[in-house]
Structure 1
Amino acid sequence: MTSRAASALDTPWDSPPDTQELIQEAMAWHFDPATGSPFWREQSKRLDFDPRKDVRTVEDLSLFPNVVDELRDARVEDLVPRGYGDIAELPAPPVVAESGGTTGAPKRVFMLPDVREQSWAWYYNRLVEHGIAAGDNWLGIMPGGPHMAGVLAQDTAHRFGSIFFTLDFDPRWAKRVMGRGAADEAKAYISHLVDQIDWILRSQDIRVMVITPPLLEAVCRRDHLVDLINEKVNTVIYGGTSMDEDTRHLFRTELFPQIDFVSIFGSTMIFCAMPQRPGAPADDAPVFDPPSPFAMFSVIDPDTGKNVPYGERGQVVTHHVTRNLFLPNNLDRDTGIRHPHRLGLPGDAVADFKPVREFGASAVVEGVY
């Protein structure tokens, strides 16, 4: 990477910079032909404003079109800002990450080492707030391959000084099977996943389990696995699909009353995952505070584009503003309840994420992830 002066873009996510300073430096970086990516250089030709002059605040990000669908076909090389220099000279290999493919062909982004470290460190610090202990073995029941979730879980376990176990898990196949209503195939695939969980829980000392709600429900259909989890596991970290209030209450109070549950919301398109706000009553819907201003939520009325009042449901819009990637105005497939950010940072916190039934021209199938 080429040398450069200190910048808001390089500030640790746990010490957020002035938001306007971050946005203005991001515009200067991403829209200078010498430092910006070929992707944004081409996009800028179609804009009717000058980002380096006209975009200075969070509100100004709404000037940009939602370009996220173009990431389904964009060349990864075209997403890399030229200011990073020769990729071969980076201190660690970059990660190509893909979305789950819930709403069509997967979208693809390029995570460079500096922003990956910032995002992973921020996530680790949030789990420390939830009392995750160092050295406890983890079982990651999350997809690997091109999915960020599996890489994040493994790297986070390493930060805790823990041994990480995982399994073969292809959520796209499960979604395809469920989407065409092949109930027997879906049941067989879920059984295949639970068998792998069974083998590990029987033989290993697992203390932290990272899992999706549908798979936790499937695990609970085997009574001996419920007993093993209660015997061995201290914390269940769950995410990847939504969980309703009744199911959450059942897990917390009847099936696993002595186990800590930590809900996670994550998105490849904002390069991060966020644990629920700590210290909230167990029966309350988890609230998620993003690492603003690097990743921000807005909760809007999709018909007007305006924020809904706090406490009301709207559709989620995300912004990502880092040196690695600029991705504003992404209308997400989820709706949520709008809350103020717990630290008073820009943008919204969100509770009770739920997918819309249709998104664009595609039906939304959550599957097992």
Structure 2
Amino acid sequence: MTTSSRAQHAPRVTFDTLYDTLRERVPELAVDLDAWTRRMMRWHFAPETGSPFWVGRRDRLGFDPLTDVDGFAALELFGLFDKGELRAASALDLRPRGYRDRPFRVFETGGTTGAPCRIVNVTRLAYDVEIYRTVLQARGVAGGDVLAMTPSGPHAYGHFVEGLADSWRGAVYAIDFDPRWVKASLRAGGEADAYTSHLVEQTLTLLSAERPSLLFTTSRLLLELAMRLPRPLHTYGIRAVCTGGTTCSAAEAAFLRQEHLEGVQWIDTYGNTLAGHALQADAVPGAPAPPGGTGHSYHLPPPFAVLQVVDPADPWREVPVGERGRVRVTTLLEDLFLPNLLERDSAIRTGPHPWFPWEGVAAVQVFRDDLTGPHGAVEGVY
């Protein structure tokens, strides 16, 4: 039986079966977090499998990650991760020796808080695609052709969209989008308007010429596109808009839903190249109402990564559920290990959700105090 015929005969995914389906399709999601942490320590710090980046640091850590890290909580031994070390590293030094015979790609971050970071992808993109495809199936919008109003070139987002469309043999119509051009202009005191118009014009051309089912973009660009549309988005064939990257306010989100997204699902994610995709969980019966007036929360699937909301004055103290703090993320993948990275964002800590039974965040916004990097966070359009 072919892959496509298996997909046609597979049981329908619903929100009641979503978590079980995710664990069936991605068995690593069922692994206990402490056990996975120990497994990642063996992988990243063994000379046979680890990357030169981490194996070369083992003797300088002041502890032995193979014996002293007995679970997730013990990752605090690493202290806060300095993103400057990642910026200074050669991408090839991040490639695990255990994957030396596997194809790989080098992705770059958008450079929101300074110079871009480079990372290596071997398996992570495949995990992301399978997880997100399953979520789209539960929402009833998987399949069809895709319009990618997303960063191109070295940025993971565009490659993720291509992989997703490949999973159901859909076409990808992509615009030419360099997010760092906008950020460089903003840092120099310029404006983003001209480049944003360039992106919107490319997208309008593709919307008029083709009939894609899904639009991938950022919340900021969705707002700009909506203001320029000559007719409702659903009349172009769009069934769902999937966003990530930059955020918009609760008022802007309400405006988009009420005025421009009639008949179109809007599915957002929170995350970035280093952390991955935290999945949107909607307000549903049996779940606490998401705080901050957003109507949803975001949940990053462990054991691949863990979001924690911490006291800005004490990054080792998690704030209680319902309170705002700074986001701290730990990434635990074979491709990438980043312990205790303080993010550019603040958020409200939320509890587990019926769809995703692990804690999440809501009401994400740029962290306004003590930003890392000499220029703080420059969001631009991505």
CA distances 1:62-89 after superposition (whole Å, capped 9, x unpaired)? 11131432111211121122222xx3x3
Distance 1:48 1:345, change over 3 A: farther
CA distance in 2, matches of 1:173, 1:29: 37
1:187 aligns with 2:193: yes
How do 1:311-350 and structure 2 match up within 5 A? Answer: 311-342=322-353, 348-350=359-361
- Bigger Cα displacement from structure 2, 58-67 vs 282-291: 282-291
CA distance in 2, matches of 1:43, 1:343: 40
1:364 aligns with 2:360: no
How do 1:277-288 and structure 2 match up within 5 A? Answer: 277-278=281-282, 280=284, 284-288=294-298
1:52 aligns with 2:63: no
CA distances 1:210-251 after superposition (whole Å, capped 9, x unpaired)? 111222222223241x43544421111112101111111111
Q: Which residue of 2 aligns with 1:124?
A: 133
Q: Which residue of 1 aligns with 2:148?
A: 140
1:173 Cα deviation after fit = 0.3
CA distance in 2, matches of 1:327, 1:255: 39
CA distance in 2, matches of 1:13, 1:143: 30
CA distance in 2, matches of 1:20, 1:275: 22
CA distances 1:146-180 after superposition (whole Å, capped 9, x unpaired)? 11001101111221332111100011001111222
1:13 Cα deviation after fit = 5.2
1:347 Cα deviation after fit = 6.6
Which amino acid is 1:256 matched to? L
Distance 1:333 1:203, change over 3 A: same
Q: How many residues are matched?
A: 348
Q: Is the 8 A contact 1:293 1:345 kept in 2?
A: no
Q: Is the 8 A contact 1:210 1:236 kept in 2?
A: yes
Aligned residues with identical type, % of pairs: 34
CA distance in 1, matches of 2:335, 2:93: 12
1:71 aligns with 2:86: yes
Secondary structure at the counterpart of residue 317 of structure 1:
strand
Q: Which residue of 1 aligns with 2:3?
A: none
- Bigger Cα displacement from structure 2, 291-300 vs 345-354: 345-354
TM-score, normalised via structure 1 length: 0.88
CA distance in 1, matches of 2:283, 2:139: 8
1:41 aligns with 2:71: no
1:292 aligns with 2:297: no
Q: RMSD between aligned alpha carbons?
A: 2.2
1:173 aligns with 2:212: no
1:42 Cα deviation after fit = 2.2
Q: Is the 8 A contact 1:263 1:286 kept in 2?
A: no
1:32 aligns with 2:50: no
1:343 Cα deviation after fit = 6.4
Q: Which residue of 2 aligns with 1:106?
A: 116
Distance 1:82 1:312, change over 3 A: same
1:346 Cα deviation after fit = 9.0
TM-score, normalised via structure 2 length: 0.85
Q: Is the 8 A contact 1:264 1:274 kept in 2?
A: yes
Q: Which residue of 1 aligns with 2:26?
A: 12
- Bigger Cα displacement from structure 2, 120-129 vs 326-335: 120-129
Q: Which residue of 2 aligns with 1:255?
A: 260
Secondary structure at the counterpart of residue 30 of structure 2:
coil
CA distance in 2, matches of 1:218, 1:299: 31
CA distance in 2, matches of 1:64, 1:206: 46
